[in-house]
Amino acid sequence: MTTKITHNSLIICIISILLTACNHSKTSDNSDLTSEQTTEVVYEYGIPVDSFNTTEGNVKAGETLSAILGKLGCKGQVIHQLNYFSSDTFDVKRIKQGDSYTAYYSKDSIPELTYVVYHQSIVDHIVFHVCDTLCAHRFKKTVRTEQRIAHAVISTSLWDAIVSNNLHRQLALELSDIYAWSIDFFGLQKNDSFVVLYDELFVDTLSIGIGKIHAATFTHRGKTFSSFYFKNDQVNGFWDENGNSLRKAFLKAPLKFSRISSGFSYARKHPVYKTIRPHTGVDYAAPAGTPVMTIGDGVVIEKGYKGGGGNTVKIRHNSVYTTAYLHLSRYAKNLQVGSHVSQGEVIGYVGSTGTSTGAHLDFRVWKNGSPINPLTMESPSVEPIPENAMTEFIALRDSLQKRIQ
């Protein structure tokens, strides 16, 4: 006889789940009348957990869901129904090694496996009801948002300031993205500082990341850069106090969290040849394999091995600016001469090809055909907030400024 999970059996299964919860949570009418104190039922994943004993485990290499259910004591006829289980809720063949699960057993004299919860992530879970008929439903935990203000003074680097002040590590990435066009994060100075108003996300009491950044100020080399997030049906992004976009035509640097090992110079002693020669670029020391991004939109005009420069990509951004990225270990997949690239797109990875003493990126910029110092290059902003949205922006800016002053 073939077993199939039908629409009717699914309805029966759902009713069974609801009845289980009701039977475990309800009290008799007499006890309602006489008891002065009732015990609050605790639910997890929709299960009244106080009514069950639990055990936890992790998926081992090569382990299947049917093997896990069998190990937990699930009935054979229920396990057999996995062969007909719909993948609309969960593909039982795609359980992953290392993922965790929780089994719930009744508190009867002979414990019966009633539920198995497979934890896909901190937020997403699959609840299997495994009494007599196999069925499942998705359970998504509530993500709670708390608005926070963080501030720190920098002594060595943005990352160290975040870590030493016990702030969420993701803030370093978010701030570097917001100010990527305004601040040279490889040239931060002692006593630079920041204040940021943001949402932190929690599941139960566990922090799972950073949500929306509302506003920030970053003081660098004595100048304060303000940013306010503003969105309407016309624009979306971060803006300074005057409504100018923080996004500019070019990023300040082609990679994140590195250090400058050699600057722009017409008289540098070459580390390999030991002779004095021009170095019309900036060297960024970074581990081999670090992603390298194009600083602006453009078209790839050169890609290949260029002698001492090793694997090189050259990009024309417009009629004025061209950039080049040297000593790459490899190129981004499908990158070709003629490819159109977008600002921030990965075009290759740090390496030590060509004439090089170690892994680094040699980054070069030309303006109207002449080399210029990338660290002093001025970059125009994109379009500001439209005039008809300025009143709305100013009201938001003023309310946010009061929070971060």
Contacts 24+ apart (CB under 8 A), 156-160: 156/190, 157/188, 158/185, 158/188, 158/194, 159/257
Residues 6+ apart with CB under 8 A from 208: 122, 123, 143, 201, 202
Instruction: Please tell me the distance from the alpha carbon of residue 66 to that of residue 224, in angstroms, as a whole number.
Output: 60
Same domain for 118 and 152: no
Same domain for 165 and 125: no
% of the chain at pLDDT higher than 90 = 56
Question: Residue 103: its pLDDT value, please?
Answer: 96
Same domain for 335 and 227: no
Please indicate whether residue 86 or residue 31 has the higher confidence score (pLDDT): 86
Inside any domain, residue 348: yes
Confidence of residue 13 (pLDDT cuts 50, 70, 90): low
Q: Looking at residue 281, which CATH number applies to its domain?
A: 2.70.70.10
Q: Angle 352-186-365 (CA atoms, 0-180°, nearest 5)?
A: 65
Buried b (16+ CB within 10 A) or exposed e, 120-156: beeeebbbbbbbebbbbbebebeeeeeeeebebebee
DSSP string, 279-348: E-SEEEE--TT-EEE-SSSEEEEEEEE-GGG-EEEEEE-SSSEEEEEEEEEEEPTT--TT-EE-TT-EEE
Same domain for 76 and 154: no
Inside any domain, residue 381: no
Question: Residue 377: its pLDDT value, please?
Answer: 80
Average pLDDT value for the chain: 84
Task: Summarize the confidence of residues 317-326 as an average pLDDT.
Answer: 89
Same domain for 98 and 19: yes
Contact 207, 201 (CB under 8 A): yes
Q: Which amino acid appears at position 106 of this protein?
A: S
Tens digits of per-residue pLDDT, 338-381? 999 999 999 999 999 998 888 999 999 998 888 898 887 877 77
Same domain for 135 and 11: yes
Question: Domain end: 96, 119, 140, which one?
Answer: 140
Inside any domain, residue 389: no
What is the residue whose two structure tokens read 């992004």? 237
Tens digits of per-residue pLDDT, 199-212? 999 999 999 999 99
Same domain for 136 and 150: no
Q: Angle 224-297-189 (CA atoms, 0-180°, nearest 5)?
A: 25
Same domain for 80 and 63: yes
Instruction: Please tell me the distance from the alpha carbon of residue 64 to that of residue 248, in angstroms, as a whole number.
Output: 51
Contact 335, 293 (CB under 8 A): no
Confidence of residue 258 (pLDDT cuts 50, 70, 90): low
- Give the range of the structural domain holding residue 315, as residue numbers without chain letter: 259-376
Same domain for 193 and 89: no
Question: Residue 3: its pLDDT value, please?
Answer: 42
Inside any domain, residue 159: yes
Confidence of residue 181 (pLDDT cuts 50, 70, 90): confident
Inside any domain, residue 384: no
Q: Looking at residue 77, which CATH number applies to its domain?
A: 3.10.450.350
Domain count, the chain: 3
Strand partners, 226: 217
Question: Domain end: 140, 173, 193, which one?
Answer: 140
pTM recorded for the entire structure: 0.63
Question: Residue 28: its pLDDT value, please?
Answer: 41
Inside any domain, residue 392: no
